[in-house]
Structure formats: structure tokens, C-alpha cells
Amino acid sequence: MQKLLYMFLASLLALLCATQACAARDFPPQARRGDMQAYRYPLIKIGDRVYRLAAGSHLYNEQNLIIMPASLSVQTAPVMYQLDTSGDLSRIWLLTREEAAQHGLIK
């Protein structure tokens, strides 16, 4: 009986993890969308504007993991971004192709 309970809990945990992995990312309502281009650190160009990275800013890759700005391997990428109160970039999310299409950044 106890072995059956452990198997049930293990399969329930696996199901919950799989569901979370497939879940779409939720972006804050004030997040903006744009195309990021390579620029000089700590500056990042999105669209026609150049922004400065805020102290403590977060850059998320397509798997929603935090990465360092120096590890960016793309020259251009569709992104969602959020500015802080002083107009600096506080969060940037690199979008997957599906997310970019959903937000109208690629066709």
C-alpha cells in the first residue's frame, strides 16, 4: 500500500513539473515589446532607442533562466522589456519564435 502511495506521489510530481515546463510565460502588463540589437555594454538598443541597463537588472533567456549580458550570443532578438522609474532597463526577456509571433514581432 505504501509503495502504491509513493508511486502515485511520484507520478503526480512528474505531471506537475511537466505542466509547469509547458506553461507560457506571463509578462508584466507594463512590459513593452521590441527588437533588441547588439550595442556597447551597459547600453542596449531596442528599436530606435538606446537604453542603459539598471543596476540589478535581469536578463532572461528563452528558457526563462537569468543570464549575464556578456553571454548574449545573438546580434538581434525579439524581446519584451520593462523600464524602471528612471527609464533604465530593469528586465529583458528574450522571446522564443512562438512568443515573438504571438506578440506580433515576427510573422
**Residue 1: pLDDT band by 50, 70, 90 thresholds?**
confident
**Between 70 and 15, residue with greater pLDDT:** 70
Q: What is the pLDDT of residues 19-48, one digit of tens each?
A: 445 568 999 999 999 999 988 888 999 999
Q: Kindly state the average pLDDT of the residues 1-7.
A: 68
Residue 90 has pLDDT above 80, yes or no: yes
- The closest of 24, 17, 36 to 81, measured between CA atoms, is 36
Predicted confidence at residue 72, as pLDDT, reads 78
Break the chain into its structural domains and give their ranges: 30-107
Q: What is the pLDDT of residues 48-83, one digit of tens each?
A: 999 999 999 999 999 999 999 878 777 889 999 999
Predicted confidence at residue 20, as pLDDT, reads 46
- Measure the CA–CA gap between 91 and 107, rounded to whole angstroms: 24
Predicted confidence at residue 15, as pLDDT, reads 61
**Burial category of 89 from C-beta neighbours within 10 Å (exposed 0-12, middle 13-18, buried 19 and up):** buried
Residue 94 has pLDDT above 60, yes or no: yes
Task: Answer positive or negative: Cα dihedral of 101, 27, 63, 85.
Answer: positive
